[in-house]
Amino acid sequence: MPASQSFLYGYTFTGTPGGTITIDTQIGAPNPFILTDTLDSDDGDDQTNIDDHVTLTRWPGGPENDYVLRGLTSDGGVIVQAGAGTGASYIYSDVLYTGGETLTSDVTTPYTYCFGPGTGIATPAGPVAVETLEPGDRVLTAEGQEVPVLWIGRQTLRPRLFDVGLVRLRKGALGDGLPARDLMVTSDHALLIDGLLVQAGVLVNGDSIVAVPRRDLPQTLTVYHVETPGHEVILAEDTPCETFIDAAGRHAFDNYAEYATLVGPDRIIPECPAPRVTSARMLPQAMRERLGIAEQDEVLSA
């Protein structure tokens, strides 16, 4: 089923997607503006990415219009271009504006190494929910060392419109009681297993480790990453998981400005020496059999 999302308000705006934009006037009466993913002949899937076509309906059962998604806004809305990508551009949002407000916008697909909210991170005082950690707090590595938190990055994802690739590892899925509770991470976030940094998407077995269906997620979801001075392996629900590595950059995070204030200019983090596994075909056969993982790579959209 193609993903869809509804918004209460539509607006014209000035500015260019990817930078700061300014709200101008509201269009139409407040009512559901429903955007539905369209299967593009050029991208071959029903996942919504920037420059994909979407169908816009101004009320349930109303006429369908072909728009193109051009960006996301900092208020959780979307920027679309009418006329199948050749006409005027508009913003659809659940926030009521009167005109003159400024928003930042993003024209890149989310790409993160993050924990879901509520994930218990080991600290010297016991597990703490990741979203409550603050710079200066200390967390425990898998080797029992204390390291300081430099920054907790936050990123708002929109699972109902984008395939954000979230993976849920059920309690005990890795054996030996790990994770201690259900653990949800983004698919590119790596766990240390048998000396290998294995990205969570590789571990999907359709049973104890699953790709989280978009229909089971809210319209927006905030995920978090923990940045420490080095690329460390810390404990999330007692499971060894990597801290942030700057391969994807920090600019996509909601609070990047906070990073610049706290830490300074972006820095390079040397990656830890453990080999990284990005495909099920790279897993040792014994690990695949133990965790019930198919040899072919799993598809994380649902």
pLDDT at position 162 is 58
Question: Is pLDDT of 248 > 60?
Answer: yes
pLDDT at position 117 is 78
Mean of all residue pLDDT scores within the chain:
84
Closest CA to 107 of 24, 41, 187, 49: 49
Kindly indicate the confidence band of residue 295, based on its pLDDT and cuts at 50, 70 and 90: low
pLDDT at position 43 is 42
Tokens of 9: 């308000």
H or E stretch at 170: none
Phi/psi at 130 (nearest 5 deg)? -55, -35
Q: How far apart are CA 114 and CA 64, in angstroms?
A: 36
Q: What tens digit of pLDDT does each residue of 190-213 get?
A: 999 999 999 999 999 989 999 887
One DSSP character per residue, 218-272 reads -S-EEEEEEE-SS--EEEETTEEEE---TTS-STTSTTHHHHHHHT-S----PPP
Q: What tens digit of pLDDT does each residue of 16-67 get?
A: 988 899 999 999 877 778 887 665 544 434 456 778 888 888 766 678 889 9
Name which residue leads in pLDDT, 60 or 78: 78
Name which residue leads in pLDDT, 249 or 283: 283
Kindly indicate the confidence band of residue 86, based on its pLDDT and cuts at 50, 70 and 90: very high
pLDDT at position 145 is 96
Q: Please state, as a whole number, how many other Cβ atoms lie within 10 Å of the Cβ of residue 297.
A: 15
Q: Which of these ranges, 113-117, 143-147, 160-164, has the smallest mean pLDDT? A: 160-164
Tokens of 189: 């976030």
pLDDT at position 208 is 93
Phi/psi at 268 (nearest 5 deg)? -90, 130
Most confident residue range from 1-15, 101-115, 274-288: 274-288
Q: Please state, as a whole number, how many other Cβ atoms lie within 10 Å of the Cβ of residue 238.
A: 17
Name which residue leads in pLDDT, 270 or 38: 270
What Rg value do the Cα atoms of the chain yield, rounded?
21
Residue 36: CB partners within 8 Å, gap ≥ 6? 2, 3, 4, 54, 55, 56, 57
pLDDT at position 300 is 44
Residues 263 and 181 sit within 8 Å (Cβ to Cβ)? no
Q: What tens digit of pLDDT does each residue of 99-137 get?
A: 999 988 877 644 345 787 789 999 999 999 998 999 999
Tokens of 273: 């020496």
pLDDT at position 211 is 87
Question: Is pLDDT of 265 > 50?
Answer: yes
**Per the confidence metrics, is the pTM higher than 0.85?**
no
Name which residue leads in pLDDT, 258 or 2: 258
pLDDT > 90 in the chain, percent: 45
Instruction: State the amino acid at position 256 in one-letter form.
Output: Y
Dihedral angle of Cα 168, 173, 176, 179, to the nearest 10 degrees: 10
Compute the average pLDDT of residues 239-260: 86
Phi/psi at 151 (nearest 5 deg)? -165, 145
